[in-house]
């Protein structure tokens, strides 16, 4: 992912982090769905709990289904994170939070074969005194891995805006130069006309001096 894209993606994530820290709320952020071959890709999975759901036991199962393939389990959390055997063994890092509202993972060194459907299956058991109900939640991430650098819509818009700004500044500069040139030309023309009119005046009228008689 290009530096510009990374920056653009980091701005909303930073804002979300500030909100979470200041207001102590959980914000469910959708995961990125495109990755570049050979880079690390975070599969975001956030499932917010309500206040009455705090006392729970959480089980997480990450699965992967290749395009037209069979669903396989690749990672799980049941008291602690555990990597499973398979094509992703040795390439998955746990990025979950302590309160297990964020149960994201990161795939290291993604390949073109990693494209497919990922499912984050969350099961919470509530620890009540009289009964122990449970609730399930499933989040999906359809990942596409590209071989070449990604150019998303935002980068295209940024480049277009930059070119439009350059064109606007160029046109403004040309207009200012034309305006100044015409103003200078008018000033020079007016000066020449004044000089011509002055030369056309008879010499006797150019100076109107009063003669003062000299007394002896």
CB atoms within 10 A of CB 126: 15
CB-based contacts of 199: which residues, under 8 Å, 6+ apart?
none
- Asked if residue 121 lies in contact with residue 140, where contact means CB atoms within 8 angstroms, the answer is no
pLDDT surpasses 50 at 16? no
Which candidate, 48, 137, 57, 42, places its Cα nearest to that of 101?
48
CA pair distance 107, 115, nearest whole angstrom: 11
Q: How far is CA 169 from the centre of its chain?
A: 25
127-180 residue pLDDT tens:
877 777 889 999 999 999 998 765 556 677 888 888 899 999 999 999 989 988
Which candidate, 2, 81, 86, 76, places its Cα nearest to that of 39?
2
170-206 residue pLDDT tens:
999 999 899 888 888 888 877 777 777 666 666 655 5
Q: What is the DSSP letter of 213?
A: P
């Amino acid at each position: 992912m290009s530096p510009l894209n990374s920056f653009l993606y980091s701005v909303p994530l930073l804002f979300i982090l500030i909100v979470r820290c200041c207001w102590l709320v959980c914000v469910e952020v959708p995961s990125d769905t495109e990755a570049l071959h050979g880079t690390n890709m975070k599969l975001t999975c956030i499932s917010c709990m309500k206040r009455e759901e705090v006392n729970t036991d959480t089980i997480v199962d990450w699965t992967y289904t290749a395009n037209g393939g069979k669903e396989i389990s690749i990672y799980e959390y049941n008291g602690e994170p555990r990597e499973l055997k398979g094509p992703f063994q040795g390439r998955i890092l746990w990025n979950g939070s302590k309160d297990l509202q964020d149960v994201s993972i990161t795939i290291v060194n993604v390949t073109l074969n990693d494209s497919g459907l990922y499912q984050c299956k969350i099961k919470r058991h509530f620890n009540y005194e009289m009964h122990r109900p449970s609730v399930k939640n499933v989040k999906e991430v359809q990942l596409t891995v590209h071989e070449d650098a990604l150019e998303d819509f935002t980068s295209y818009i940024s480049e277009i805006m930059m070119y439009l700004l350059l064109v606007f500044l160029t046109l403004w500069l040309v207009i200012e130069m034309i305006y100044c040139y015409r103003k200078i030309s008018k000033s020079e023309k007016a000066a020449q006309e004044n000089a011509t009119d002055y030369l056309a005046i008879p010499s006797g009228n150019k100076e109107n001096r009063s003669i003062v008689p000299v007394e002896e």
